[in-house]
């Protein structure tokens, strides 16, 4: 059995000062230790007095009472203090109770045996109690460490909060102000208790941890603070912080990868959609320039129409790219005001008239609908993009319909439906609303239409959703709130994302 102040594991001497008590199993403040010792001294004095005054109390009974007091001290403090109390008790018994009194001489062999047995019984009892307490403290420490490690190992990477680990450390080690510093000396996590600790009992902890981390803490001075438990819990906090850093780095890497994919998609889509119209315009313009006299009026008109059509495609592409850049940069100017939905739909369908010539487009938007709360220009772009997509993929008629849905959140809502009978959406709307995401290879689109429509709706406070058209196809739904029952309100201008 090794003394408590000697570490068998590392074979080195450690400080047994009770104000440090590096290897004591349980934390007790010096004030509590002093109170227990004073109580023990009082109990021993009372036992001596009772033995002297009461004939029924013999020396054996007095020593048994003192043994009980030593056991209580061992349970409340530690072996060192219990042995000290046992020695004090045997000296007090020898001085006051064993003839000749008021000397340390023991005249009777029987009394000597009683005193020696008392000392051995007190020391062995104290050893047993402190060993049990040490095992209990070790089990508690293991459970605390296991709880922290289990949380660290079972939780997804980066989801363990280092502040929670510091809180567990502070509450278990009676620390009030705990800070975790990285190798550069920056505070990466901290925790403060609800009750500040001050005065002479304040202790300061500075613990060097793996990977250059440092733990700084202040708290109550305790006897029996376990440095191994402190280090284990501090390492859990370090691992939690490192896991959070790894998660942030992984998220940043994902963002960079998404940006790289977006750039690649931009180059692929824009490169194709720029080269094709430019080549057609260059060919048509060159033909008109070199052989205009040899062409019939119909051929010249067809070439001019080709140039105008591809010029409009280029204009739409550049406009979409500019709109997408404003959305991604968070610099989209939104001016919400009472807006007539029928006028917006008429303007939007006119802007895509060249695409809907060959399609059967039916518009059913009553003129007596309530005014909606929207930005007219952005809403027109939303409708134009949705109608253009529907016409491109429709297999039959396309219908643009609007109706009042009813009371919702204190105001009536108007639903604008763009209905087609095409093949439907192959992916969820939230995936198709990503930039440069097209529904099929070679469909002639850049994949920006839905992304811009979704971004504009979100900026205006509208909702864009989709559902399956009965009989096949897709119905895009733009839900708009009415503007205060149709009454005029002041323009509300804001820069979304600023």
- Render pLDDT for 280-290 as a digit per residue (tens, 0 to 9): 888 888 888 88
Map residue 371 onto helix, strand or coil: coil
Select from 116, 134, 136, 35 the least CA-distant residue to 79: 134
Contacts of 133 (CB under 8 A, 6+ apart): 25, 26, 75
For CA atoms 83, 85, 88, 89, the dihedral sign is negative
**Confidence class of residue 176 from pLDDT cuts 50, 70 and 90?**
confident
Higher pLDDT, 209 or 260: 209
Map residue 78 onto helix, strand or coil: coil
- Render pLDDT for 465-486 as a digit per residue (tens, 0 to 9): 888 888 888 888 999 988 764 4
Select from 294, 181, 280 the least CA-distant residue to 272: 280
**Confidence class of residue 8 from pLDDT cuts 50, 70 and 90?**
very low
Higher pLDDT, 398 or 19: 398
CA–CA separation, 437 and 85 (whole Å): 82
Angle, to 10 degrees, between the axis of helix 227-291 and the axis of helix 109-154?
10
CA 291 to chain centre: 69
Mean of the pLDDT values across residues 149-172?
74
Angle, to 10 degrees, between the axis of helix 162-173 and the axis of helix 109-154?
170
Structure tokens at 407: 């009371």
- CB atoms under 10 Å from CB of 214, counted, come to 16
Mean of the pLDDT values across residues 253-277?
73
CA–CA separation, 282 and 131 (whole Å): 95
Map residue 365 onto helix, strand or coil: coil
CA–CA separation, 10 and 45 (whole Å): 42
pTM above 0.85, yes or no: no
Select from 378, 392, 375 the least CA-distant residue to 313: 392
Q: If you ran DSSP here, which 8-state letter would residue 395 be given?
A: S
Structure tokens at 497: 């994302």
Query: Which element (helix H / strand E) includes 206?
Result: strand 202-208
- Render pLDDT for 89-118 as a digit per residue (tens, 0 to 9): 888 887 877 888 778 888 888 888 888 888
Longest alpha-carbon distance in the chain: 147
**Confidence class of residue 213 from pLDDT cuts 50, 70 and 90?**
very high
Mean of the pLDDT values across residues 440-453?
62
């Amino acid at each position: 059995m090794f003394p408590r102040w000697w570490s068998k594991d590392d074979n080195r001497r450690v400080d047994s000062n009770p104000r440090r008590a590096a290897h004591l199993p349980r934390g007790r403040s010096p004030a509590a230790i002093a109170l227990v010792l004073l109580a023990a001294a009082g109990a021993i004095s009372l036992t001596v007095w009772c033995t002297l005054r009461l004939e029924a109390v013999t020396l054996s009974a007095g020593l048994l009472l003192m043994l009980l007091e030593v056991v209580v001290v061992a349970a409340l403090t530690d072996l060192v203090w219990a042995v000290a109390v046992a020695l004090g008790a045997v000296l007090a018994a020898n001085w006051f109770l064993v003839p000749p009194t008021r000397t340390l001489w023991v005249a009777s062999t029987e009394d000597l045996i009683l005193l020696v047995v008392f000392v051995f019984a007190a020391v062995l009892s104290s050893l047993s109690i402190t060993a049990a307490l040490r095992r209990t403290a070790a089990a508690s420490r293991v459970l605390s460490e296991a709880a922290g490690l289990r949380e660290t190992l079972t939780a997804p990477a980066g989801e363990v909060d280092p502040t929670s680990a510091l809180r567990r450390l502070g509450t278990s080690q009676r620390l009030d102000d705990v800070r975790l510093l990285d190798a550069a000396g920056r505070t990466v996590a901290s925790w403060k208790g609800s009750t500040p600790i001050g005065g002479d009992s304040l202790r300061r902890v500075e613990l060097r941890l793996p990977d250059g981390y440092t733990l700084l803490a202040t708290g109550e001075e305790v006897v029996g603070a376990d440095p191994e438990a402190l280090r284990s819990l501090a390492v859990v906090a370090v691992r939690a912080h490192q896991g959070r850093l790894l998660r942030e780095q992984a998220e940043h890497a994902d963002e960079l990868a998404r940006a790289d994919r977006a750039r690649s998609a931009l180059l692929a889509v824009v490169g194709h959609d720029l080269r094709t119209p430019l080549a057609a315009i260059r060919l048509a313009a060159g033909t008109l320039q070199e052989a205009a006299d040899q062409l019939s009026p119909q051929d010249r008109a067809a070439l001019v129409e080709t140039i105008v059509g591809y010029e409009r495609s280029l204009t739409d592409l550049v406009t979409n790219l500019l709109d997408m850049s404003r959305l991604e940069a968070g610099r989209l100017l939104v001016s919400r005001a009472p807006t007539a939905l029928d006028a917006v739909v008429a303007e939007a369908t006119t802007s895509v008239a060249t695409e809907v010539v060959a399609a059967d487009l039916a518009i059913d938007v009553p003129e007596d609908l309530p005014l909606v709360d929207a930005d007219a220009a952005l809403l027109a772009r939303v409708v134009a993009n949705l109608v253009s997509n529907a016409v491109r993929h429709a297999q039959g008629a396309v219908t643009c319909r609007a109706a009042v849905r009813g009371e919702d959140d204190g105001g009536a809502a108007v639903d604008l439906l763009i209905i087609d009978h095409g093949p439907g959406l192959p992916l969820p709307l939230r995936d198709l609303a990503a930039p440069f995401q097209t529904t099929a290879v070679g469909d002639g689109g850049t994949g920006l239409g839905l992304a811009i429509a979704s971004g504009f709706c979100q900026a205006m406070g509208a909702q864009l959703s989709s559902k399956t058209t009965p009989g096949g196809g897709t119905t895009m739904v733009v839900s708009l709130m009415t503007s205060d029952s149709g009454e005029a309100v002041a323009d509300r201008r804001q820069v979304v994302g600023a």
